[in-house]
Structure 1
Amino acid sequence: METAQERNVYDVLKERGLIKQTTHEDQIRELLGKEKVTFYIGFDPTADSLHVGHFMQIIIMMYMQKYGHKPIALVGGGTAMVGDPSGRTDMRQMMTKDTIRENSDKFKKTFGKFINFDDDKAIIVNNADWLLELNYVEFIRDIGRHFSVNRMLTAECFKQRLETGLSFLEFNYMLMQSYDFLELYRRHNCKMQFGGDDQWSNIIQGVDLVRREMGEQVFGMTFALLLTSEGKKMGKTQKGALWLDPEKTSPYEFYQYWRNVEDADVRTCLSMLTFLPMEQVEELSALKDAEINKAKEILAFEVTKLVHGEEEAAKAQDAARALFSGGASLENVPKTQIPASRFEGEGVGVVGLIAELKLVSSKGDGFRTIEQGGLTIDDVKVTDAKLMITKDMFQDGKILIKKGKKTFHLVELL
């Protein structure tokens, strides 16, 4: 990768299709080119693991740090008590302080895998440190006076919720996120806030608050959400989100997700989620038909290597190749252990089993998969949807179920 002297990080992010909106494009580019800028990205700990949507933000932090700028990873221990209405059609579940604290600790460990926190090159902060001790009346007098309700109601994150009902609790979220920017400016001279494009309304309000309270110009920038060519959010699997925690999404499942993206999405993923030079991204994206699978292998390996390390990426790749070529390396394939007693006597219906393993979304989906010839057990196509899986069908206590061409699951007897 080029050094900061050779290129402005703004140009790099723009070239890779990562930038969506900016508050002051020319000034931001100039600032990033002439000084080391402290910036922040916020992560609300609403789950016990970061997911691939967050990984987009981490990639940004990694690029910025490589080019000499200083990241602040803000864990939203305070904002998570309220819940961000952005991009949601319903109100978030309320969380306890203990759950938020546990999730925050897990987030901090994950950041350490990607960002260098040595010698004050980056810092982690938690907005609970200032938000939870605020005096409500003072906060409304000092901060609330700067916010126009009329203007807030035009924000996209609120507009879509007005039809279903927007609580006053959620209405406060914008004030709290804006106040974070003000606090980080005061404490760390933080001049920029980044976030996904669904955060645009919150970011511009924060920029405005710092200007009104401090008389200083700060900046905001949003990044493109990771979308398929059809405009759908990427990173959703049959089991839910694509998690960065290997306990929640195994490295093999993670690898397979990227190995199986649509041809039309290869360029976007290579550009946004890897550090491969853009010339190589363009070359790989230009491959056609069966050749594009080479690009998908490289994509899957690179993203898995970033998240889980080179060793796990290599193991996932070996397992996938072995299965595709009919080999026998099953070590890294997703597996479920089931008591042998369940398969005694009449056994277990094949449709019920694949639904239980979440290989299909429902029993109806299971019947359709079999009707269309999309299910094999130990390389033998299943043609009877009423097939019963019995103990004597297991070889060395194992059967390998394959849905379509690319989804594998190993069942082992306990």
Structure 2
Amino acid sequence: MEQLLRELAPQVLGALARRYGQFDAAEDAVQEALLAAATQWPAEGVPDNPRSWLLAVAGRRLVDEFRSESARRRREENVFQLDVEPGTVTSRDDTLTLLFLCCHPSLSPPSQLALTLRAVGGLSTAEIASAFLVPESTMAQRISRAKQKIKSSGLSFTMPPSAERAERLRVVRQVLYLVFNEGYTTSGGEALQRADLTAEAIRLTRMLRTLTPEDTETGGLLALMLLTDARREARSDSQGALIPLDEQDRSRWNTAQIAEGVALVSATLGKGPVGPYQLQAAIAALHDEAKTADATDWPQILALYEVLERVSPGPVVTLNKAVAVGWARGPLAGLAALGELDGDERMAGNHRVEAVRAHLLERAGDRAAAHAAYKKAAAMTTSVPEQRYLTLRASLTASEH
């Protein structure tokens, strides 16, 4: 039932927002309808047409809200036209329009993330707050400000003009990618990963691909998520300790997700403009198809990173390329490539730069420098599992030099 409600939530919200033009009020009404369904359906059974049931309940909540507002006199003559009865609302799916609205460029990235998970994902404020390790009151304020921004900006519930759609779709993909990344490697706390967030990101990206089947980058993004998430079970041991990629038990990887991801890469790569998600998916496929760590085709992965750096340059791409250089050409070459990030303020405070440096130094035989880099990386991360792993590596290199 929870899955059904999450699938229906954006459809119901989209229908109400399009009909009434008030996203904030419609979103509140849908949340109340979802709560009513979660309370009533287990006892009374799921209705024959659950979407119409939710539309009717949310619609009545919305009408009640309109009637109670100070401007009710203006709406009085139209209020009965606003009532929603089962079967009277079109079956049109406005989920894509809803995604575009939640990811509007006028909203800050944190607001885009929170609003997408709330309005399109159907997650409660408490669930979103827990995922991003902030108090529920803080997340509630963030969501409230985002809805107020939409209201005060006069943003209409319509598809953006054709000239803007490609850029808006890019933002939607980026938001879903950020949701996935936060789930796959949490930015802080005790847990290494949040399977609920990665699952939600994959579900929403599947939905986006269904709505935009011609967009090869969306297909690439879905492939990237599937191929990356396929390794989830092997990333930690029974005590929750982190296991790096080259040490993972590959028999624990999800072969069904790998097969689907590889098929998506084959179906999208080269079928349209080559974008960063397609290239990252192709890299992930090379990792997943290698039977052992030693069998990984690092020269091909490096070649793809070099293309990715031209298509979508950035410090994170440079960092990952340095790892590939280290495996394809040796750790000293990898350290030289990592040197490109020295002084890059965008990576200041990012523990992964020091973690990669430590790993390359260890492989190069410089145990003392590796020990120092591991300790520095451990002090910089807020993820407890990563901190424990880096501290362990620091102690091992200390005992070896």
Quick one: higher RCO (CA 8 Å, sep 6+), 1 or 2?
Answer: 1
Is the helix fraction higher in 1 or 2? 2
TM-score (norm 2): 0.31
